[in-house]
């Protein structure tokens, strides 16, 4: 086939530089299937290109998808007409084809415009009119003059038609005429008396520009009989049910005349009815099921009655046969059972399922639908709208018993008599969807550092809005902390030992993963929270005192308190623990010793019997316990041996002699656990205020007592005071402090051996008030 505009278009495409390509071609409407419309040449090295037809406007199937072949290093694409192509410029004269060319990663789209042009040589006359016999029409001789007899239909508009054959009298009563719309008109003189004549008319159709075609019309004139054949009854309508079997009698017609015969002249052929040629009984010839033959509902029959020997002597009767639907079959629905499942997140208004119902007795009739719920009885989640089952409310599977199966029935009713129904069972299963991630609240647990493995610390309470709400697995993310979480209930257990001194707290990330909350078992959601585990300090190390054993010699002064030593203790494993309580638990006879914190004090303020003149040894046991919030309270006992040497007038100063424990002696350390009592704060306040008041009173009393003693001493004789002062200043080493000194006090000599002139001084004891004589050289004294 040859195109009106032969195109050989060679394009070297650089696709990256082109945005849109356009081609315009003209094609004749005479082109048939397989004709090549356009060829393209593409250069796409080193890729393999593709050429696609995206769409055609206006939509049509006249064009094949483009082909693409390789030829001499280039790719050649072709556009051809499909097997269904029937181009007609008078119908559509322009098509737009959108093409896409792909070369590697570059994509270019182009438009191909196809203009369909008229073919002047194309024959426009077709059908029976253009055949040698021509079109045959029959008319009665009683036709009204100048009325349309026939309409010639030809494609296109603007054609001119003329009758070119001769219409000369006397054969023609008058000329036939035809107009530009193809209507053939009867002669103005009419056709009366032209019965049995045949008129052949040659017609020329001119389309302009020298294009034309010819055809023939043959007009047969039929006579009008003047016989006595006639139908006594008038036209009538007959109604029959559709369930009549073939051969059933419908009606019987009767015409007056001699030897009358009957036939159906319209419609021809008559598929549903027949008439007996002799007696005129009209019977059914086929089933009248309106479902299979809807056109059988109304049939207009024209029955002709004529004499057998004079067939032109005839009469016609028109009547209508109405076939009434018989409601024999209930509506039929496809599918007969609606079973479907939808997720709980289906939006309102979504089609759940569709079905189609028809009435076999009356196809196309309107059917009524009713939705009846069975379980749950009053469900509003589904509704029936225009015969379509839709979601009517939000579906929710996140509550117990909410995600269930909806069972219902759709009742379909027809409009026949009697009404018949069909029930379509409906089963809609709502499937759960894992919509929410599990969550938990961050918590803090406390555990003693001496807790045993497998100790329960607490539980992580995870929540999930999806049902079931407890379908959560717990796990600890990473780390090597000595803790584990139960995967089912979230209980946190201790796995190994703890040490407050090494690590005081732990932060763990607990992962929560849900399961069994979605139709897809592999669909999981996860969440996390942080728990803090604080290790509570437990007093598991007793204090140690250095040294644990002390031996001291103290030269005490009468009426004065003296700090003997300081008990130094610590916990080596917990250097931060500095709070200790001290208490003398043994050896403190006559309560001459007391503790001021860790300081051991010798108290010599007794106002009782005379002060002993001999040295005395005290073996004190001091219990040292840790004090603080940590429990239990552990303690140790330190041993302090104190040799108390009473102060003499000849003693130079009070001193303390410390004795180091030999290395061969191993002191015995006794560790005791003491129950610690921590009083209420209000009790501590009351006790403190009361103690302060007592101390103030005691201080006032002591001050008053000392003022009285001072006044007594000031009233003593001045010579005695001067003599005492000189004796004290003359003593060697009397001001040295806290050095080791031999016992300077000498036992009082008997009066028979030591005379009065050996004592060169007299003084008064500050505590007892008694006078005594003393020797300034030896320090000996004698009470008076």
- pLDDT bucket at 211, cuts 50 / 70 / 90: confident
How many Å apart are CA 616 and CA 593, to the nearest integer? 13
Q: Count helices and strands (H / E) in the chain.
A: 2, 53
**Contact at 8 Å (CB) between 426 and 387?**
no
How many Å apart are CA 482 and CA 498, to the nearest integer? 8
- pLDDT bucket at 13, cuts 50 / 70 / 90: very low
Beta strands at 593-596 and 599-602: parallel, antiparallel or unpaired: antiparallel
**Lowest mean per-residue pLDDT among 487-491, 537-541, 756-760:** 756-760
Tell me, what's the pLDDT at 268? 87
**Percent of the chain scored above 90 by pLDDT?**
17
First to last CA, the chain: 167
| 176 sits in which H/E element | none
- Domain architecture of the chain: domains with CATH: 23-117 (2.60.40.60), 128-222 (2.60.40.60), 238-324 (2.60.40.60), 332-420 (2.60.40), 439-536 (2.60.40.60), 544-646 (2.60.40.60)
**Contact at 8 Å (CB) between 723 and 729?**
no
Task: Give the C-alpha distances (Å, rounded to integers) separating 174 from 136, 177, 427, 471.
Answer: 19, 10, 79, 102
Residue 124, pLDDT above cutoff 90: no
pLDDT in tens, 75-116: 888 899 998 887 877 678 899 999 998 998 888 888 889 998
Most confident of 94-103, 129-138, 674-683: 94-103
Q: Which residue has the higher pLDDT, 308 or 730?
A: 308
Q: Which residue has the higher pLDDT, 106 or 626?
A: 106
Nearest to 567 by CA among 588, 581, 553: 581
**Contact at 8 Å (CB) between 125 and 136?**
no
Residue 179, pLDDT above cutoff 50: yes
Q: Rounded mean pLDDT of 7-19?
A: 33
Exposure string over 713-725, b if 16+ CB within 10 A, otherwise e: eeeeeeeeeebbe
Hey, what long-range contacts does 676-685 have (CB within 8 A, 24 or more apart)?
A: 676/625, 676/627, 676/631, 676/632, 676/633, 678/629
Give Cα 217 distance to the centre of its chain: 79
Cis omega (within 30 of 0) on the bond before 468?
A: yes
Q: Rounded mean pLDDT of 397-406?
A: 73
Q: DSSP state, 731?
A: S
Residue 632, pLDDT above cutoff 80: no
How many Å apart are CA 128 and CA 109, to the nearest integer? 48
Task: Give the C-alpha distances (Å, rounded to integers) separating 511 from 454, 472, 514, 533, 546.
Answer: 20, 10, 10, 16, 51
How many Å apart are CA 566 and CA 583, to the nearest integer? 13
Using DSSP's 3-state secondary structure scheme, residue 455 falls into coil
Using DSSP's 3-state secondary structure scheme, residue 37 falls into strand
Give Cα 545 distance to the centre of its chain: 66
Q: DSSP state, 330?
A: -
**Percent of the chain scored above 70 by pLDDT?**
80
Where on the phi/psi map is residue 723: left (φ > 0), alpha (ψ -120 to 50), or beta?
alpha
How many Å apart are CA 596 and CA 744, to the nearest integer? 31
Tell me, what's the pLDDT at 292? 78
Query: Please, which residues have CB within 8 angstroms of residue 43's CB and are 6 or more apart in sequence?
Result: 12, 13, 73, 74, 75
Give Cα 4 distance to the centre of its chain: 63
**Contact at 8 Å (CB) between 365 and 357?**
no
Radius of gyration of the chain (CA): 67
Residue 322, pLDDT above cutoff 90: yes
Q: Which residue has the higher pLDDT, 755 or 531?
A: 531
**Contact at 8 Å (CB) between 344 and 433?**
yes
- pLDDT bucket at 536, cuts 50 / 70 / 90: confident
Neighbours of 656 (CB within 10 A): 21
How many Å apart are CA 598 and CA 602, to the nearest integer? 13
How many Å apart are CA 727 and CA 729, to the nearest integer? 6
Burial class (CB in 10 A: 0-12, 13-18, 19+), 459: middle
**Contact at 8 Å (CB) between 462 and 472?**
yes
Query: Please, which residues have CB within 8 angstroms of residue 344's CB and are 6 or more apart in sequence?
Result: 395, 396, 397, 398, 403, 430, 431, 432, 433, 435
Q: Rounded mean pLDDT of 567-579?
A: 79
Most confident of 179-183, 186-190, 575-579: 186-190
pLDDT in tens, 135-173: 888 888 888 888 888 888 765 566 788 898 888 888 888
How many Å apart are CA 102 and CA 617, to the nearest integer? 114
How many Å apart are CA 648 and CA 654, to the nearest integer? 10
| 10 sits in which H/E element | none
Q: How much is the pTM? A: 0.39
Using DSSP's 3-state secondary structure scheme, residue 416 falls into coil
The residue ranges of DSSP E strands in 253-404, in sequence order, are 260-266, 273-275, 281-284, 298-307, 314-324, 332-334, 338-343, 351-354, 356-358, 368-375, 382-385, 388-391
Q: Rounded mean pLDDT of 164-185?
A: 87
Residue 15, pLDDT above cutoff 50: no
Mean pLDDT, the chain, as a whole number? 79
Cis omega (within 30 of 0) on the bond before 535?
A: no
pLDDT in tens, 717-749: 444 444 333 433 433 333 333 333 333 333 343
Tell me, what's the pLDDT at 460? 92
Nearest to 411 by CA among 340, 341, 354, 331: 331
Give 782's Cβ-side CA count (13 Å radius).
16
Q: Rounded mean pLDDT of 436-440?
A: 91
- pLDDT bucket at 580, cuts 50 / 70 / 90: confident
Give Cα 542 distance to the centre of its chain: 58
**Contact at 8 Å (CB) between 246 and 287?**
yes
Nearest to 242 by CA among 280, 281, 293: 293
Nearest to 497 by CA among 456, 536, 453: 453
Burial class (CB in 10 A: 0-12, 13-18, 19+), 611: middle
Query: Please, which residues have CB within 8 angstroms of residue 365's CB and are 6 or more apart in sequence?
Result: 359, 414, 415, 416
Q: Rounded mean pLDDT of 388-396?
A: 82
**Contact at 8 Å (CB) between 507 and 530?**
yes
Tell me, what's the pLDDT at 531? 93
**Lowest mean per-residue pLDDT among 73-82, 450-459, 480-489, 740-749:** 740-749
Q: Which residue has the higher pLDDT, 635 or 777?
A: 635
């Amino acid at each position: 086939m040859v195109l009106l505009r032969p195109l050989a278009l060679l394009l070297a495409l650089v696709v990256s530089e082109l945005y849109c390509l356009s081609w315009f071609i003209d094609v004749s409407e005479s082109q048939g299937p397989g004709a090549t419309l356009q060829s393209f040449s593409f250069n796409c090295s080193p890729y393999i290109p593709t050429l696609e037809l995206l769409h055609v406007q206006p939509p049509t199937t006249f064009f094949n998808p483009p082909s693409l072949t390789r030829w001499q290093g280039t790719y050649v694409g072709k556009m051809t007409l499909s097997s269904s192509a029937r181009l007609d410029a008078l119908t559509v004269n322009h098509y737009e084809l959108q093409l896409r060319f792909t070369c590697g990663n570059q994509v270019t789209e182009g438009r191909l415009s196809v203009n369909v042009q008229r073919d002047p040589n194309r024959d426009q006359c077709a059908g029976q009119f253009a055949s040698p016999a021509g079109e045959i029409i029959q008319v009665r001789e009683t036709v009204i003059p100048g009325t349309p007899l026939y309409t010639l239909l030809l494609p296109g508009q603007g054609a001119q038609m003329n009758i070119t054959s001769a219409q000369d009298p006397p054969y023609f009563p008058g000329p036939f005429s035809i107009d530009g719309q193809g209507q053939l008109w009867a002669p103005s003189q009419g056709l009366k008396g032209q019965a049995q004549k045949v008129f052949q008319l040659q017609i020329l159709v001119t389309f302009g520009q020298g294009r034309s075609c010819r055809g023939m019309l043959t007009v047969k004139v039929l006579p009008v009989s003047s016989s006595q054949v006639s139908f006594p009854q008038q036209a009538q309508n007959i109604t029959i049910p559709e369930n009549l079997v073939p051969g059933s009698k419908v009606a019987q017609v009767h015409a007056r005349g001699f030897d009358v015969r009957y036939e159906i002249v319209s419609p021809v052929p008559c598929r549903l009815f027949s008439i007996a040629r002799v007696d005129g009984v009209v019977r059914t010839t086929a089933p009248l099921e309106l479902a299979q033959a809807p056109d059988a509902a109304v049939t207009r029959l024209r029955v002709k009655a004529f004499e057998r020997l004079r067939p032109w002597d005839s009469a016609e009767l028109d009547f209508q046969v109405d076939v009434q639907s018989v409601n024999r079959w209930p509506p039929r629905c496809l599918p007969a059972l609606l079973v479907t499942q939808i997720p709980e997140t289906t939006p309102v208004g979504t089609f759940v399922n569709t079905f189609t119902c028809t009435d076999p007795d009356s196809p196309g009739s309107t059917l009524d639908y009713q939705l009846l719920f069975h379980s749950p009885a009053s469900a509003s989640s589904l509704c029936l709208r225009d015969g379509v089952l839709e979601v009517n409310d939000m579906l929710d599977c996140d509550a117990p018993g909410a995600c269930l199966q909806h069972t219902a029935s759709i009742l379909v009713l027809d409009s026949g008599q009697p009404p018949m129904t069909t029930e379509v069972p409906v089963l809609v299963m709502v499937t759960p969807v894992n919509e929410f991630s599990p969550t938990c609240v961050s918590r803090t647990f406390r555990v003693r550092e001496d807790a045993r493995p497998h100790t329960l610390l607490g539980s992580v309470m995870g929540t999930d809005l999806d049902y079931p709400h407890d379908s959560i697995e717990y796990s600890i993310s990473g780390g090597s902390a000595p803790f584990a979480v139960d995967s089912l209930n979230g209980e946190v257990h201790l796995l190994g030992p703890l040490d407050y001194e090494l690590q005081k707290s732990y932060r763990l990330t607990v992962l929560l993963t849900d399961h069994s909350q979605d139709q897809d078992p592999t669909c999981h959601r996860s969440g996390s929270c942080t728990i803090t585990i604080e290790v509570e300090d437990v007093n598991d190390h007793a204090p140690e005192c250095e040294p644990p054993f002390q031996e001291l010699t103290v030269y005490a002064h009468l009426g004065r308190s003296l700090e003997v030593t300081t008990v130094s203790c610590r916990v080596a494993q917990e250097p931060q623990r500095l709070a200790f309580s001290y208490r003398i638990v043994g050896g403190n006879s006559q309560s001459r010793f007391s503790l001021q914190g860790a300081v051991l004090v010798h108290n010599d303020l007794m106002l009782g019997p005379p002060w002993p003149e001999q040295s005395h040894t005290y073996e004190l046991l001091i219990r040292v316990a840790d004090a603080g919030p940590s429990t239990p309270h552990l303690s140790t006992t330190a041993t302090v041996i104190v040799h108390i040497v009473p102060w003499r007038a000849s003693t130079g100063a009070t001193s303390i002699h410390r004795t180091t424990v030999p290395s061969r002696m191993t002191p015995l350390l006794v560790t005791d656990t003491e129950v610690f009592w921590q009083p209420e704060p209000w009790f501590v306040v009351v006790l403190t205020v009361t103690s302060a008041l007592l101390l103030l009173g005691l201080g006032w009393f002591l001050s008053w007592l000392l003022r009285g003693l001072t006044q007594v001493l000031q009233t003593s004789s001045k010579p005695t005071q001067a003599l005492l002062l000189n004796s004290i200043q003359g003593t060697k080493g009397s001001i040295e402090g806290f050095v080791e000194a031999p016992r300077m006090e000498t036992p009082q000599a008997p009066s028979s051996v030591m005379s009065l002139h050996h004592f060169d001084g007299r003084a008064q004891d500050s505590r007892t008030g008694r006078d005594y004589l003393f020797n300034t050289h030896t320090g000996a004294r004698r009470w008076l």
